[in-house]
Structure 1
């Protein structure tokens, strides 16, 4: 029974990693490619590491496998966010089917400054109060 579970985890992990690779090749822009690699590859590696932990069954190997899974779950989203933000700031083209670009009103491409959402809300509130007093 354990062999069936290990085999399913290995095949599932390999399938998710294959999907991540296909996503990198087929998806249209940086942000969608990052989504494919972050989600699919992380899940694929986690499944393979679970199969490794089941196969060896030693405390040291299981601890390392869970350490790898935890490390990936903590670092992959942060790395994807950083790469996506850097790609946006250097002018990576968005897909033509992108419906919403929430950074555009807050980002100045000449100075490379990004206003926070709180600054934007404060400015909108200030502008509405100014228009009310006029």
Structure 2
């Protein structure tokens, strides 16, 4: 069971890794899931576009890409987060950068827990799940 955080060509965000890891475990447990191997990579817009193009054939920027390798009730995967897009979105939606980052961090976990956001209704359900998860984290 491991949750790791890395940064690629960008300053590592100011997060309390231990608190974030415990929070992720609590959220996963609330969906009946345990943590296997979850790897976060914080990166630039250029890097996330490269991954999006290479692996998903999408030619656009995004804030997060989740590669889900979960089996049964054990969630595992790689979560790639563009800190530049997170910052842009925090400004666009008038939210605090740290809150927006937490939202994106847990968004990938919620995908691994079985929540999708492919339709308008599903997207609303994802936002509700994100908000519930955000209530469980200690503010930084």
Compute the TM-score of the two structures, normalised by the length of structure 2. Answer: 0.28
Greater Rg, structure 1 or structure 2? 1
Name the structure with the higher helix share. Answer: 1
Normalising by structure 1, we get a TM-score of: 0.29
Report the structure, 1 or 2, having the larger strand content. 2
